Amino acid sequence: MKTIQIHEKDNVLVALTSIQKGEVINHLGKEITIKQEIPPKHKFTLDPLSEGDLITMYGVVVGKAKVNLASGTLISTNNVGHETSGYGNKNKSYDWKSPNTEKFLNSTFMGYQRPDGQVGTANYWLVIPMVFCENRNVEVIRQAFEEELGFGRTNPYKNLVREMKSLYQKGDLKAISKLQGIFEANDIGQKTFPNIDGIKFLTHQGGCGGTRQDAESLCALLAGYIHNPNVAGATVLSLGCQNAQYQILEEKYKALNPHVSKPIIFLEQQKEGTEAQLLSQAIKKTFLALIEANKIERKSSPLGKLTIGLECGGSDGFSGISANPAVGHVSDLIVALGGKTILSEFPELCGVEQELINRCVEDQTAEKFAYLMQSYSNAALSVGSGFDMNPSPGNIKDGLITDAIKSAGAAKKGGTSPITDVLDYTEYASRPGLNLLCTPGNDVESTTAMAGSGANIILFTTGLGTPTGNPIAPVIKIASNSALAQKMPDIIDLDTGGIIAGEKTIEESGEEILEYIIKVASGEIKTKADVLRQNDFIPWKRGVSL
């Protein structure tokens, strides 16, 4: 099969393989002569279109013809512009047929059960700064702990530099460029605390110098990280005079967890005295806390205790056909089993708003989503950067030529289940079912936010490849095409290219992903992002990122 029509209403076809100029494609009895070469992942017109006619994919409006287009014409940024059909109030009821969960009804994962009822897929201790002034101290603590406790990794590139230095000193410059072989990292020693998956050291550029709203938002995000079930407790370093005061963090945390408190070690540099006093206290108190955290062991837990973040990045023209709908099936399975899923990246829901509004269980939830989308869109427009500017050069090169095309495919990660809640940035997921979370489309800002809203596993689809990870939520990287999985096996965990090749169904791939989730959640498998120590953490400064 060379092409696919994703939805019966679509007036463009997607090329699954390269199609040559002059080739005749037969679609449902209609012969279409291709006007120019169509690369894989790109789209071409099914019928002739006039200037101003709407382009439809996934059954929704995704663009508008800038010029007259003959049947069989490649659509591109030159001849098609961004367009959507708009949205309003909820205008129809939504009936959902849940997937068959019989295969997973008795499945469990081995998780860390917290006193507040949440279950972690990992057991981390956090070391976090209230303000960027403390980043260096956090780094000093990291260097002190990681190698000595066995949580670190060797830096393979030190060996490369050492060898190049030796050759340079010998005067053998030609040999430097001829160095061959892959220098690989290795885990350092045996962990002192086997029931602790790691100490995670977060740094950021916030906490002071910005708006008071940014400082409060940062405190709410950090509170969400401490509350996340994958976290046993935290060491918090403060300078003392910054906008992001510890009392704000404490208030945000108590709002999330009013009855059960995790151990939080708080140290303020301007009270402790010298830097040596601060660091010594932080290290001593953290070590004693690790002894207690190590007493927690994994126990059998139902899949309904999973909260799955749904993310995409480096998307291509196959993402919305293979990886994203496969993840969408996982979302539906988790929801049907009583768990939570989180779909974020609001700029990448542009054009499918009405569909999502109609899937909201409550009218007030639908209204909140519409309000957040409109507010975000207006903020972007006010700085001269609307949602239509969201697709990256890589997206466009691989077939996602408008934000609406990108969004229609990205939304497939949310499956088909009803939407039980809509969350503003830093709000915590508390209702079982599919949650929409307001974040930017930026990969790291989005994954950072999902972990802060309670995700204990994140599924990340990609068509081009990206090394993004998260400090506390294992990130499972899923390729939309087999070529990527073969080219970048060091960052890709799973391959859904079989869907494109016609070898697997979306449902089969989704079930394979869920089986893999169970192994990761039980600590049986480390994700590639965890192996590479991809601890990406970027708080969102509201209105700055798109």
The 8 Å CB, 24+ separation contacts for 277-282 are 278/137, 278/237, 279/137, 279/140, 279/141, 279/144, 282/127, 282/137, 282/141, 282/235, 282/237
**Both tokens of residue 292?**
């207690």
542 part of a folded domain: no
Q: Clarify whether residues 206 and 320 are in a common domain.
A: no
pLDDT level of residue 5 (50, 70, 90 thresholds): very high
* Structural domain total, the chain: 4
The C-alpha atoms of residue 320 and residue 77 are separated, in whole angstroms, by: 19
Q: Clarify whether residues 174 and 317 are in a common domain.
A: no
3-state SS, residue 198: strand
SS (H, E, C) 379-424: HHHHCCCCHHHCCCHHHHHCCCCCHHHHHHHHHHHHCCCCEEEEEC
87 part of a folded domain: no
The single residue listed with the structure tokens 């890589």 is 394
Q: pLDDT by residue (tens digit) across 168-203? A: 999 998 888 888 766 677 777 668 899 999 999 999
- Look at residue 545 in the predicted model and tell me its pLDDT: 46
538 part of a folded domain: no
CATH code of the domain covering residue 46: 2.30.130.110
Q: Clarify whether residues 175 and 214 are in a common domain.
A: no
| CA dihedral for 212, 213, 215, 216, sign (positive or negative) | positive
Q: Clarify whether residues 350 and 272 are in a common domain.
A: no
107 part of a folded domain: no
Q: pLDDT by residue (tens digit) across 419-451? A: 999 999 999 999 999 999 999 999 999 999 999
- Look at residue 233 in the predicted model and tell me its pLDDT: 98
Q: Over pLDDT 70: what percentage of the chain? A: 98
103 part of a folded domain: no
The single residue listed with the structure tokens 């980043």 is 135
In terms of Cα–Cα distance, which of 4, 6, 10 is closest to 61? 10
Q: Over pLDDT 90: what percentage of the chain? A: 87
User: Residue 143 phi/psi, 5° resolution?
Assistant: -60, -35
Of 276, 299, 322, which closes a domain? Answer: 299
Q: Clarify whether residues 262 and 405 are in a common domain.
A: no
| pTM score of the predicted model | 0.94
536 part of a folded domain: no
CB under 8 Å to 490, separation ≥6 — which residues?
Answer: 528, 532
Of 35, 64, 81, which closes a domain? Answer: 81
**Is the pLDDT at 515 greater than 50, yes or no?**
yes
98 part of a folded domain: no
Q: Clarify whether residues 277 and 313 are in a common domain.
A: no
Q: Clarify whether residues 21 and 9 are in a common domain.
A: yes
Interval 108-117 mean pLDDT: 97
- Look at residue 388 in the predicted model and tell me its pLDDT: 84
**Is the pLDDT at 546 greater than 50, yes or no?**
no
Lowest-confidence range among 151-160, 254-263, 315-324, 419-428?
A: 151-160
CATH code of the domain covering residue 223: 3.40.50
Interval 378-390 mean pLDDT: 87
Residues belonging to the chain: 546
Q: Clarify whether residues 374 and 518 are in a common domain.
A: yes
Q: What is the DSSP string of 305-327?
A: G-EEEEEE-S--TTTTTTHHHHH
Of 299, 328, 360, which closes a domain? Answer: 299
Q: Clarify whether residues 17 and 119 are in a common domain.
A: no
- Structural domain boundaries, residue 497: 305-531
| CA dihedral for 365, 367, 368, 374, sign (positive or negative) | positive
Q: Clarify whether residues 359 and 440 are in a common domain.
A: yes
**Is the pLDDT at 63 greater than 70, yes or no?**
yes
Q: Clarify whether residues 181 and 330 are in a common domain.
A: no
Q: pLDDT by residue (tens digit) across 193-243? A: 999 999 999 999 999 988 889 999 999 999 999 999 999 999 999 999 999
Amino acid at 198: G
Q: Clarify whether residues 254 and 353 are in a common domain.
A: no
**What separation in angstroms does the CA of 379 have from each of 6, 62, 292, 373, 376?**
33, 22, 46, 10, 5
